[in-house]
Amino acid sequence: MNPMDLVSRLVRSADDEAHEDADVRTDGGTATSERQGSGRGFLASNRNLVESLPFWLPPALLVGLFVYGAIGWNVLISLTDWEGLGSPEYGSLDLSMYAQLLGDDTFIIAFRNTLVLLIAFTVVSLAVGLVVAILVDQRIRFENTFRTVYLLPMSLSFVVTAIFWSWMYNFEIGMINQLLRLAGLDFLTQQWISDPQWKMAAIIFALMWQFSGYCMVVYLAGLRAIPTEQYEAARTDGASTLRMYWRIIVPQLRASTTSAAVVLMVFALKAFDFLYVLFGDTPGPSVDILSVMMFREAFSTTNWAYGSAIATVLFLMALSVIGPYLLTQYRRGDL
Amino acid sequence: MGDVKLENVTKRYEDVTAVDNMNIQIHDGEFVCLVGPSGCGKSTTMEMVAGLTMPTEGTVHIAGREVTNLPPKDRGVAMVFQNIALFPHMDVYDNISFGLRLRNFEKDEIDRRVDKAAEVVQLEGMLDRMPDEMSGGQRQRVAIARAIVRQPDVFLMDEPLANLDAKLRVHMRTELQRLHKDLETTVIYVTHDQAEAMTMSDRIAIIDGGQLQQIDPPLECYNQPANLFVAGFIGSPSMNFVEGEVTENGFTSEYMDVEFDPSNYGVSAGDKVTLGVRPEDIYPAESGRSISSPTGEIRTKTDVIEPMGDEIFIYLLLSEEVETDLEDPAASNQLLISVPPDSDVEEDQDMSVVLDRNKIHLFDTESGQAIEHSLVASPAASGASGTSGAESDD
Amino acid sequence: MATDAPAAPAEPSDDQADPTETRESDRGLGDQLRDVGPGRVALYAVLLALGAFYLAPLESGLLTAFKTQEAFFSTTPFAPPPIDGTTVAPWLSAFDTLSGGLVNSFILVVPATLISALLGSLAAYGLTNIDWRGQLVVLLLFVAGVFIPYQAVLVPLTRFWTMVGLNDLLAFWEPLASRADLVALIITHAAYGIPICTVLFRSFYSTIDGEMLEAARLDGASAATIYRRIILPLSGPIFAVTLIYQFTQIWNDLLFALVLLSSPENQVVTIALNKLKGSMVQQYNLQMAGAFIAALPTLLVYVLFGEQFAEGVAGET
């Protein structure tokens, strides 16, 4: 066979072929993961490690000291009996603080409140954020403006928003009650942040106001990652809008939901500023939560060891939320 | 002197062996393509030459010097990448001169070299452009100039044309050949595109499963493939394979027989062999009369017909029972043949064909190694000829 | 780690800006008008109502801040102040109370933001663009640091700074020694900001073409040269995101300031505002003016750089 024919034959078919996998690296997917994961052999890997040290080691030392060192130290302190003005005695360590926790009704109540806040706040914020994200995703005009407005509360300090909401919830002349009166719903007006019955709901509502914009951003990113073809396919199949979202779109937002939920739950565990500004360090049994109780025990009544024990409980709760999440991310290589 | 030598080079990642005991010798000024399917180890091989990956075992020599553990910058190699990999915040001049500036070359020398490199790749007058103001082809030229300017002993190119569109790719192919002719520098070129390999290289190294299958000039790889893998990989559409065994009278299989004298080819009755024949070496019986040594007629039935314009591909069924498997034209119960475009064929028609005995390949089914590349009686030399450089992979 | 990839910056991605906008602009005005059915009207009504919901506390607060004491008791909270009930006195008075805190907040926020962003950038580079065995484990520790409830470190933190005794360490220079609390707060915020900064930078750095960096290595560039000459010049957009995010976070923080700042002259604006709220219980106009003054820097940053802020908060996931 004539060599030129041969070549032209090869050229044609190979061009077709190359078109299909134009983006494929020579060695396919495996090469990429090899490149990142296991390094390039012992020597190169060591050389790279040495080269990389000056960059990440100083920040890692700071994080190691301030985050992990401090957490360990906190656990240590929680095992002492440290209180008052002196220094902690590391000589005799025991679990007495934790034993005390179990018998402390205030702790049990705060623990329960923390869980209620964590769950209710997360669910409500996610639900509102999802609805808002879907509405914003309807090819609307001025999308940027709407998005900016919805996310705006997120840029404010809790000190600021707590002041706004204490005004909003004012019984005589706060906006909430005034609007209810205007609508002729006087019987619904409440002492929102004084009445133990409504306090928690009022807090959750205000925090939802602040955080749902964040959920919207996360969900919007998730929605935009879904190919338009799926919407078109669902429509072609005659699915109603509601059905389409419920059956096809929302299930694909699981990753967004998970990551936003983790952030919200961790926030709920450490929520402090907002409550502290509204109520000081004693918000009362209906909204007393662990993070506030910890501050009160440690910094107001100088029961340092007891406060540390509460802090350890908070840390373990946070760990039980983020641990599984980060491990999954790590295993999937999404880190 | 840009010769490159890999000796017993192995690269293992945790549980994968990417490159397995590779031995390749590339001569100064040679253009060698590394080809193979995705994940075969060709990129890893090149990265070990570049110094971006360290071999687990074995040595790498460049220009007569052992470089196995040298960092990339000390190896006298320059690389052109698939993603083109220009620095987006630098103009063309800065991109091309980056390496020289790092090495503290004199300003005059840098200018002289950049101008020369820009001239070679025809980028004169574009030195102050930013990468995002250029077309894909121009960017690829900058990447090449960046490599040229270093005056390396060896150019390493990792699929440099893969991200270009088909037309530009063909054009750049000729440019690279011209460049290689001008510079006379050794080029190692990784591609999964066998057309690139066939058209550009002095020799092709075909790699599969981390092992070198054959390294020979393009036509030799095509005409005298060292084993079943090379035979199936080089050439498109692929070679037809029929598995069978040797009898006293030649080859027999469920669907077809070919007569020859086994003793001529160092095989004996009972050996399991695979017969290979390329689509263009099979002829309809009537036109087969024109060739010098046809086999006996083989009765088949036409199945799918694919007119390609300059030729027609016909899928022939060797047995009635099984449907054509378009996914695998080399399936043993069918033959793919190529006939001139003016041939008058229809589907589901009886057709007798003959094979060109000169172009029949025999492979040992078990080891995959080539036994013979022609069934025209020749001096009884066993083993395949012309595969001198190839590694046996047993 | 962003599972919702689009939230992370994908190179300079002007071309994939916003699918909705291109879709919209593809269609003629006539098409769009024809589409305006009752559904669309309802949609925009809901969107506007939502806007009102998110803005209501700010609107009510802003108007109240301009009302006299009598006026805000007698008017609806979301109505503009009556002519005879309009005053800027609350603003002046609030500014007076908060001005010291504002200055301190700037002294705190600027260095803490810069340090944490720079360290985050360095860490992300060393953990993303240089490959070495075990880097993912180190990275995991950084990422986990994002989610630590600060309560878990508060007691040791105060203990730590007491033991360090910055006051004495900085005694060589009186003006600095009296600011020791603030210095401790700067270092604290910088340190706790590193994890999120690292995560933000990493999401950007992992989109940088590895082959480009290999090309630089082949050209003889060291890790430091690559960082200085290539990574840093390309990091502009992500620095903007990180600086804006950190600025907002540190400015808004109350908890660390509460436990680390002891002397009144070092108090930051969130503390000052909280005190103002506590001492002026019934003066809502003053409280609202104070809240706006304290929020103004972050509001300004948000209005100017909303996109970057959104990228920052989304990067947390």
Q: Does A91 touch chain B (CB under 8 A)?
A: no
What domains appear along chain B, each with residue ranges and CATH number?
4-228 (3.40.50.300), 237-372 (2.40.50.140)
b/e for C238-261, b at 16 or more Cβ within 10 A? bbbbbbbbbbbbbbbbbbbbbbbb
Rounded Cα distance between C35 and C27, Å, is 11
Residues C162, C35, single domain; the answer is: no
- Residue C123, pLDDT > 60, answer yes
Question: Mean of the pLDDT values across residues A144-167?
Answer: 92
Q: Domain range holding C191? A: 89-315
- Residue B383, pLDDT > 70, answer no
Interface of C with B in 227-246 (CB under 8 A): 229-230, 233-234
Q: How far is CA A171 from CA A177, A189, C237, in A?
A: 6, 8, 46
Does B238 or A37 have the greater pLDDT score?
A: B238
Residues C125, C237, single domain; the answer is: yes
- Residue A227, pLDDT > 90, answer no
Q: Tokens at residue C80, please?
A: 């503009």
Rounded Cα distance between A14 and B193, Å, is 6
Q: CA torsion angle for B199, B205, B207, B210 (degrees, to 10)?
A: -140
Q: Do A34 and B18 touch (CB under 8 A)?
A: yes
Rounded Cα distance between C298 and C253, Å, is 12
Q: Please indicate, yes or no, if residue C282 is contained in any of the structural domains.
A: yes
Chain C residue closest to B75 (CA)?
Answer: C218
Q: Render pLDDT for C265-282 as a digit per residue (tens, 0 to 9).
A: 899 999 999 998 888 777
Q: Identify whether the C-beta of residue C203 lies closer than 8 Å to the C-beta of residue C1.
A: yes
Q: Does A189 touch chain C (CB under 8 A)?
A: no
Rounded Cα distance between A335 and A328, Å, is 9
Q: How far is B351 from chain A (nearest CA, A)?
A: 23
pLDDT of residue A241: 81
Q: What is the DSSP annotation of C238-250?
A: HHHHHHHHHHHHH
- For chain B, the distance separating the N- and C-terminal CA atoms, rounded to the nearest angstrom, is 34
Q: Render pLDDT for B62-106 as a digit per residue (tens, 0 to 9).
A: 999 999 988 888 888 998 988 888 999 999 999 999 989 988 899
Q: Render pLDDT for C230-243 as a digit per residue (tens, 0 to 9).
A: 999 999 999 999 99
Rounded Cα distance between B186 and B76, Å, is 11
Q: Do B85 and C12 touch (CB under 8 A)?
A: no
- Single pTM value for the model: 0.82
User: 3-state secondary structure string, chain B?
Assistant: CCCEEEEEEEEECCCCEEEEEEEEEECCCCEEEEECCCCCCHHHHHHHHHCCCCCCEEEEEECCEECCCCCHHHCCEEEECCCCCCCCCCCHHHHHHHHHHHCCCCHHHHHHHHHHHHHHCCCCCCCCCCHHHCCHHHHHHHHHHHHHCCCCCEEEEECCCCCCCHHHHHHHHHHHHHHHHHHCCEEEEEECCHHHHHHHCCEEEEEECCEEEEEECHHHHHHCCCEHHHHHHCCCCCCEEEEEEEECCEEECCCCEEECCHHHHCCCCCCEEEEEECHHHEEECCHHHHCCCECCCEEEEEEEEEECCCCEEEEEECCCCCCCCCCCCCCCCEEEEEECCCCCCCCCCEEEEEEEHHHCEEEECCCCEEEECCCCCCCCCCCCCCCCCCCCCC
B348: left (phi over 0), alpha (psi -120 to 50) or beta: left
| CATH code assigned at C292 | 1.10.3720.10
- Residue A157, pLDDT > 70, answer yes
Q: Please indicate, yes or no, if residue A315 is contained in any of the structural domains.
A: no
Contacts of B150 in chain C (CB under 8 A): 219
Contacts of C216 in chain B (CB under 8 A): 87, 98
Q: Tokens at residue B300, please?
A: 């088949």
Residue B237 preceded by cis peptide, ω within 30 = yes
Q: CA torsion angle for B192, B197, B198, B202 (degrees, to 10)?
A: -150
Residues C136, C101, single domain; the answer is: yes
Q: Do B72 and C230 touch (CB under 8 A)?
A: no
Q: Please indicate, yes or no, if residue A99 is contained in any of the structural domains.
A: no
pLDDT of residue B69: 86
Q: Do C218 and B85 touch (CB under 8 A)?
A: no
Domain count, chain A: 1
Q: Does C4 touch chain B (CB under 8 A)?
A: no
Q: Domain range holding A206? A: 112-303
CA nearest neighbour of A19 among B232, B236, B199, B169: B169
* Matching residue, tokens 């769950």: A119
Residues C160, C298, single domain; the answer is: yes
Please name every residue paired with B272 in a beta bridge, in sequence order, or none if there are none. Answer: B245
Q: Please indicate, yes or no, if residue A282 is contained in any of the structural domains.
A: yes
Q: Please indicate, yes or no, if residue C241 is contained in any of the structural domains.
A: yes
Residues C93, C19, single domain; the answer is: no
Contacts of A22 in chain B (CB under 8 A): 162-163
Cα A257 from chain centroid (whole Å): 10
Provide ipTM, 2 decimals. Answer: 0.85
CA nearest neighbour of B208 among B231, B240, B230, B237: B230
Q: Render pLDDT for C161-170 as a digit per residue (tens, 0 to 9).
A: 999 988 888 8
Residues C127, C18, single domain; the answer is: no
Angle at which helices A158-168 and A196-224 cross, to 10°: 130
pLDDT band at residue B321 under the 50/70/90 scheme: low
What H or E segment, with its residue span, contains residue C178? none
Angle at which helices C135-146 and A41-63 cross, to 10°: 20
Question: Mean of the pLDDT values across residues A97-112?
Answer: 94
Q: Identify whether the C-beta of residue A89 lies closer than 8 Å to the C-beta of residue A80.
A: yes
Domain count, chain C: 2
Question: Mean of the pLDDT values across residues A288-311?
Answer: 94
Contacts of A64 in chain C (CB under 8 A): 141
Rounded Cα distance between C258 and B288, Å, is 96
pLDDT band at residue B156 under the 50/70/90 scheme: very high
Contacts of C207 in chain B (CB under 8 A): none
Identity at B275, one-letter amino acid code: L
Q: Please indicate, yes or no, if residue C8 is contained in any of the structural domains.
A: no
Identity at C124, one-letter amino acid code: A
pLDDT of residue A44: 54
Q: Please indicate, yes or no, if residue C2 is contained in any of the structural domains.
A: no
Query: Residues near B253 by Cβ (< 8 Å), separated by ≥ 6?
Result: B242, B243, B244, B245, B275, B332
Query: Residues near B291 by Cβ (< 8 Å), separated by ≥ 6?
Result: B283, B354, B356, B358
Residues C155, C224, single domain; the answer is: yes
Rounded Cα distance between C265 and C261, Å, is 9
Chain C residue closest to A154 (CA)?
Answer: C313
Q: How many CB atoms lie within 10 A of CB A263?
A: 25
| CATH code assigned at A242 | 1.10.3720.10
Q: Please indicate, yes or no, if residue A133 is contained in any of the structural domains.
A: yes
Residues C157, C105, single domain; the answer is: yes
DSSP C175: H
User: 3-state secondary structure string, A138-185?
Assistant: CCCCCHHHHHHHHHHHHHCCHHHHHHHHHHHCCCCCCHHHHHHHHCCC
Q: Please indicate, yes or no, if residue C305 is contained in any of the structural domains.
A: yes
Q: Render pLDDT for C279-312 as a digit per residue (tens, 0 to 9).
A: 877 788 899 999 999 999 999 999 999 888 888 8
pLDDT of residue C20: 41
pLDDT band at residue C154 under the 50/70/90 scheme: very high
Q: Render pLDDT for C54-100 as a digit per residue (tens, 0 to 9).
A: 999 999 999 999 988 888 888 888 888 888 888 888 899 999 999 99
**Lowest mean pLDDT: which of A119-133, C34-48, C207-221?**
C34-48
Identity at B170, one-letter amino acid code: V
Query: Residues near A18 by Cβ (< 8 Å), separated by ≥ 6?
Result: B162, B166, B169, B192, B193
Q: Do C211 and B81 touch (CB under 8 A)?
A: yes
Chains that touch B (3 or more CB pairs under 8 A): A, C
pLDDT of residue A75: 95
Q: Do A330 and C140 touch (CB under 8 A)?
A: yes
pLDDT of residue C316: 63
pLDDT of residue B155: 93
pLDDT band at residue C205 under the 50/70/90 scheme: very high
Residues C195, C235, single domain; the answer is: yes
Q: Identify whether the C-beta of residue C240 lies closer than 8 Å to the C-beta of residue C121.
A: no
Q: Render pLDDT for C307-316 as a digit per residue (tens, 0 to 9).
A: 888 888 887 6
pLDDT of residue C171: 83
Q: Please indicate, yes or no, if residue C250 is contained in any of the structural domains.
A: yes
Task: State the average pLDDT for chain A.
Answer: 84
Q: Render pLDDT for A52-98 as a digit per residue (tens, 0 to 9).
A: 899 999 999 999 999 999 999 999 999 999 988 888 888 888 999 99
- For chain A, the distance separating the N- and C-terminal CA atoms, rounded to the nearest angstrom, is 54
Q: Please indicate, yes or no, if residue A71 is contained in any of the structural domains.
A: no
Q: Please indicate, yes or no, if residue C9 is contained in any of the structural domains.
A: no
Q: Is A293 helix (H, G, I), strand (E, B) or coil?
A: helix
Torsion sign, CA atoms B172, B177, B182, B184: positive
pLDDT of residue A45: 59
A and C: number of Cβ contacts within 8 A: 358
Residues C43, C180, single domain; the answer is: no
pLDDT of residue A38: 35
Q: Please indicate, yes or no, if residue A271 is contained in any of the structural domains.
A: yes
DSSP C82: P
Which of C64, C85, C106 is a domain's end point?
C85
Q: Do B98 and C216 touch (CB under 8 A)?
A: yes
Q: Please indicate, yes or no, if residue A22 is contained in any of the structural domains.
A: no
